[in-house]
Structure 1
Amino acid sequence: MAGSNKEKDVILQLMIESVNEHEDYEIPITLNVHGTLVSGNLVSAEYYFQELMEAFSEDNDADKQIYDKLEKATHHLESGEEPGINYVHMKEAKMFDESGTAIPSKGNVLWRGKMKEVDGFFIGKVKES
């Protein structure tokens, strides 16, 4: 399976550890993930889960179930129970196709991806052409 034998990039892991440890710390970054550019601000897993929870109301059973699972995951992060760093979390994320067009082009998009699937990165965000 593609990516299953890839090692995690220790520099990227260091940056993720830094955003996870320092509240309100973000790093503008662009990732190359299997040829797709993903550009945005690297944020903590806790920030990601808190923001994601806001997308689900507690008004209906299906949303409440998802909300409760996300809340539980956030408590695990806060207590240090989360095993290792396996995911990259970004806000204001945009994916870019070959023509330089951003998808999505508007809004604040949260993005989560597997750290071991990242082929490369650079500091800074890509702007739509």
Structure 2
Amino acid sequence: MPGIKKEKDVILQLLIEAVNEYEDYEVPVTLNVNGTLVSGTLQSAEDYFKEMLEVFDEDSDADKHVYEQLKKATDQLKSGEEPEINYIHVKDAKMFDESGAAAPSKGEVTWRGKLHEVDGFFIGKLKES
């Protein structure tokens, strides 16, 4: 419904803060986001941006522009600034439909979503059926 703002789950936000703060800390998680299940491992925002920097390696002018903006965001995270947590990053993510089928079926993806759009979660990953 328009006009209704969803609240962020404070427990999920706490887990994201821990992943962001403690190096090599990982939490397997499955999220319910508007009826879709997203399952993988929570990833720090800094690690997410580092992965994105590798994708945009300055080969073209457009890549260079995206790279520079991502680098700026990464540098802000490293500076110790504590930005408000609005996004959640899940590495090795799979999205599951009602039948239990996962996408992508092969390979690894990193998923980024809005924290306030998560309807629910549990600790642990789903396995493909």
Same topology, TM > 0.5:
yes
Q: After TM superposition, where is structure 1 displaced by more than 3 Å over at least 4 residues in a row?
A: 1-4
Task: Work out the percentage of aligned pairs sharing the same amino acid.
Answer: 71
Rounded to whole Å, the distance in 2 between the matches of 1:2 and 1:107 is 37
Cα–Cα, structure 1 residues 93 and 2, in superposed 2: closer, same or farther, change >3 Å?
farther
Cα–Cα, structure 1 residues 19 and 127, in superposed 2: closer, same or farther, change >3 Å?
same
More moved, 41-50 vs 61-70: 61-70
Deviation at 1:4, TM superposition (A): 4.9
Deviation at 1:81, TM superposition (A): 3.0
The residue that corresponds to 2:10 in the other structure is 10
SS in 2 for 1:83: coil
In the TM superposition, what are the counterparts of 1:33-112 in structure 2 within 5 Å? 33-112=33-112
Structural RMSD (CA): 1.4
SS in 2 for 1:122: strand
Deviation at 1:26, TM superposition (A): 1.2
Rounded to whole Å, the distance in 1 between the matches of 2:36 and 2:24 is 27
Rounded to whole Å, the distance in 1 between the matches of 2:84 and 2:104 is 30
Rounded to whole Å, the distance in 2 between the matches of 1:44 and 1:3 is 30
Rounded to whole Å, the distance in 2 between the matches of 1:3 and 1:110 is 30
Query: What TM-score do the two structures reach when normalised by structure 2?
Result: 0.94
Per-residue deviation, residues 47-80 of structure 1 (Å, max 9, x unmatched): 0000111111212111111111111110111113
Per-residue deviation, residues 30-60 of structure 1 (Å, max 9, x unmatched): 0000110000000100000001111112121
SS in 1 for 2:38: strand
1:19 aligns with 2:16: no
Deviation at 1:86, TM superposition (A): 0.5
More moved, 73-82 vs 87-96: 73-82
SS in 2 for 1:54: helix
Query: What TM-score do the two structures reach when normalised by structure 1?
Result: 0.94
The residue that corresponds to 2:119 in the other structure is 119
Rounded to whole Å, the distance in 1 between the matches of 2:31 and 2:12 is 10
- Corresponding letter in the other structure for 1:107: G
Identify unmatched segments of 5+ residues in structure 2: none
